Chain A
Amino acid sequence: MVVWRDLLVAMRRRSDVATALLFFVVVTSLFPLGIGAEPNKLRANGPGVIWVAALLSSMLSLGRLFAADHADGTLEQLVLGAAPLGVTAAGKAFAHWLVSGLPLVAIAPLLALQYDLDPGLYGVLALSLLLGTPVLSLVGGIGAALTLGVRGGGVLLALLVLPLYVPVLVMGAGAVEMASAGLGGQGQLLILGAMLIVAAAFAPWATAAALRISSE
């Protein structure tokens, strides 16, 4: 139900969804202008840039994950809901991913054109984002819940969450780089898959604990 509700709210506030997606497009499009149009340089930097942009774009919308619910009082209803709060937190993270992560996965191969990436790598790039961006939403949810109602929470959220994103970034960008070197990115993709399983199993409960603290 919380997924349905959040998706409905997101559909009625399309500008928020578009902002994160546009940020992703703009950042990935600015880099080729900044680092020059030399194809080898672009090919080498492409996966890293796309991954960093995806990470920042996902973080951009994290602040809203619980803030609106906190402000209008619906968070109290979620905390006092009939479903375990961990399940509700997982639903919120899933809705966040559907709105802010999945569009990035879909559009990333198109943006990879700017970096002259080999078309054979588009699949690896999309797969790495498909496995990695849900981890960003799940882990980010803990930070969003902890910084709820804190003044200057946006900066604190970035400081809290970005270090936790590092392994996902390293493995995500690494998978594409390995595949482009002809070594295959299966190792990194498997580790990303493992990260997703661990995050899906534990992050919602940590988010739930943080929400209980924040709603006191």
Chain B
Amino acid sequence: MLFRGLAFALSAGEVLRIAGPNGSGKTSLLRILCGLLTPSAGEVRWNGARIQTLREEYARHVVYLGHAPAVKDELTGAENLRATCVLAGLAPSAQDIRDALARVGVPGDKPVRHLSQGQRRRAAMARLVLGWQAPLWLLDEPFNALDAAAAAVIRTLLGEHAQRGGSVVYSTHQDAGLRDSRVIEL
């Protein structure tokens, strides 16, 4: 049992940090929140409806970025971002893609396998630049493997999203310097 008796509601514009040491269940909680994992007891509701019944409708409202960068080594940064966005139901223009990659500082024309670990992570985070339509962002250790400049960009993106009325749930085992509305310690 990783955790029990955990109940919380998330409002628009809130930034919720899930804190806790390694193995405390931060990733599991985020996977439960996005619907990848079914909790052994309890449920997750989105606007009052169970996410298991909403499925794709809920998925359209969520951006989930997990531990793995979720980019294909064989594809370029731009191709990866386009694929991720289209699979999420968006239709970004070539200019949108270029702008998003430029904002996180990733070359769009290089196959991802030629990029460093940090740059791959940045390429994955470019999804956030185009993810403003999805009100809920679920991010697992978003600052991992990022340098100070990239971390600052992500902090800005999260702040902008909260100001737009979006909600963010992110996990980290150390304070990332964000103005969190709330912290849940697991």
Contact = CB atoms under 8 A, between A and B. Distances in A.
A169 to B, nearest CB: 33
Highest count of chain B CB atoms <10 Å: which of A4, A12, A82, A88:
A82
Contacts of B69: 72-73
A198 B56 CA distance: 25
Interface in A1-19: 1-2, 4-5, 8-9, 12-13
A12 B72 CA distance: 11
Contact of A12 (B55, B59, B111): B111
A216 B39 CA distance: 10
Contact of A1 (B34, B73, B87): B87
Interface residues of B, number: 29
Interface string B152-186: 00000000000000000000000000000000000
Contacts of A80: 34-36, 59, 62, 64, 88
A216 B36 contact: yes
B36 A76 contact: yes
Nearest to A72: B68
Contacts, number: 77
A106 B60 CA distance: 40
A83 B75 contact: no
A128 B52 CA distance: 41
Interface string A76-117: 111111111000100000000000000000000000000000
Given A73-B70, A84-B56, 11 more contacts: A12-B111, A72-B69, A72-B71, A74-B70, A76-B70, A78-B87, A79-B36, A80-B59, A82-B89, A88-B87, A216-B38
